[in-house]
Structures are given as structure tokens and as C-alpha cells.
Structure 1
Amino acid sequence: MLYRFAHKTGVYGVSIVEEETQRILVKVEQVIKHPKQGDLHNPTDVEDVFFHERKALSQYEKRYTTKSQLRPFDVAELPYTESLQQALSTLETKLLKEDTVHAQKSLTNLQRLKEDYSVQYKKNFI
């Protein structure tokens, strides 16, 4: 059974690997929303900040969380690489509609990330 799990600015479909009294170990099965690019504390700033490149959590990556962080899974189940491609495309489409320096820098980051993902998952991300 999958759950929705938000981590930083990304959202993932996860399965429970292990439950303890205070925490739950989850494993990433798919990407629902790709993390935003840039500085989280100054979301639209590009000057005088470190503009972070943020990767999605990897397939089968594990994280500890609490039960309260898990939500009902309300999207179609997809294989990891398909869900990653869909999340990238959704974010790119949104950024292409914005005419800002932040959007341009974010698109540059996403292009580099697609190259990294292509090597990591042996699939061409467009």
C-alpha cells in the first residue's frame, strides 16, 4: 500500500518498510511532485543567495518519518521513472509560463538534473 509523503519541497509515493513506536521507515516508490529549485528560505530570489539544485529522492531511497507525515495516496500508481518524467514535465511546464530569472535558473538546473537522471536510471528524460 502506498502513502503520500512530502519531503522538503517534493512529494512522493512511499511504502512502509518498518514501523516502530515513534517512527516509520518508508521507501520511495514514485515521484508525485519534483522538488523546487533555488533557495528555500528566499523562494524567488536569485541574487545574493545560493541557488540550490534539488534532486528528487531516488527510487527505493529510505527515510524515517512519523505517521502524521503520511497522507492517503490519491494519484495513479506509476513506475518510478515514468513518475519522475511526469513530475519533471509538470514543473517545467509551470516554469516555462513564468517570465522570471528564477524560472530560467530553475530550468537550467532541471536540464542538468535530467542528464544526471538519464545516467542514474539508464533512461532518456526529455
Structure 2
Amino acid sequence: MEETQYVRAFYKTGVYIAELLDKQEENGRVLVKVVAVLKHPMQGDLHNPKMVNVAYFHQRKALAEFEKTWVPLSSIKTYTEPIPQYKLSLQKAVEAQMVALQEEGSEWAQECIEKLKECKREYGL
């Protein structure tokens, strides 16, 4: 039986600990299954970073526990640290991002904090 391999995977603006499931070398991508969150995705319009007056200020949620997604092979690194429980890792990632945004203190940061509060409610945190 093959040993489970865990990786640090970057997906859009979030960073996850994930189980490596499949590799498509010819397409340069891998299929991963999320087991924990290291960095919560950024909020807002990624095409107009740090701007509030945009057509739509997006709420971006983290990938769910056990959600599978394809990521570029170049975006993964082997992960060998202890793996935290998903919900605790999600809570820690959201709170770390909120602290960083509070320190920034801009109008954009405040809008991001409001979107993260919505995420927290929807996550049940």
C-alpha cells in the first residue's frame, strides 16, 4: 500500500495542506484533497487589488475540508509538519488575516474584514 503524501498547495490566493491524489505530468497539474488551511483567500477584486470602489467586491471562501481540486504542479511543496484539524486551521487562518487587515487600517482592509466576518458566520466559527 502506498503511503499518503501531503503537500502545501497554493490555490488562487489561499494556501492549504492537502493530500496528493493524482498527477498529470503532461498537463503540469496535480489533484489534491484539502485537509487544512494555512492561509485564507484574500477578499475583494483581485484584478483591482486594495480598491474598494469596484464593480463587485468579492467574498472568497476557503476550500472545504476534503474538497478536491486541480492545482499547478509548480504550486505544491512537500508538507511534513503535523497536520492540524481542518476547522481549527480555518479559524486560525481567518483570524490571522483579520489581524493583519486591522493593522493595515485602510478602507479596503475594513471591507475585507466585513467579508471575513460573513465567512466566519457561514463557516460556523
Q: TM-score per shorter chain, which class?
A: 0.7 to 0.9
Of residues 71, 84, 102, the one that matches 2:108 is 102
Q: How does 1:44-59 map onto structure 2 within 5 Å?
A: 44-59=50-65
Among all aligned residue pairs of Structure 1 and Structure 2, give the percentage whose two residues are the same amino acid: 37
Q: Which residue of 1 aligns with 2:9?
A: 5
Moved more, 34-43 or 61-70: 61-70
Moved more, 65-74 or 9-18: 65-74
| 1:19 CA drift (Å) | 3.1
Q: Which residue of 2 aligns with 1:80?
A: 86
Structure 2 gaps, min length 5: none
Between the two proteins, the alignment pairs up a number of residues equal to 119
Runs of 4+ deviating beyond 6 Å: none
Structure 1 gaps, min length 5: 119-124
Task: Please report the TM-score for the alignment, with normalisation by the length of structure 2.
Answer: 0.87
State the AA in 2 paired with 1:60.
Answer: F
The two structures, once aligned, show a CA RMSD in angstroms of: 1.6
Q: Which residue of 2 aligns with 1:29?
A: 35
Does structure 1 retain, via aligned residues, the 8 Å contact 2:34–2:68?
yes
Task: Please report the TM-score for the alignment, with normalisation by the length of structure 1.
Answer: 0.86
CA distance in 2, matches of 1:11, 1:74: 15
Verify: 1:17 aligned to 2:49, yes or no.
no
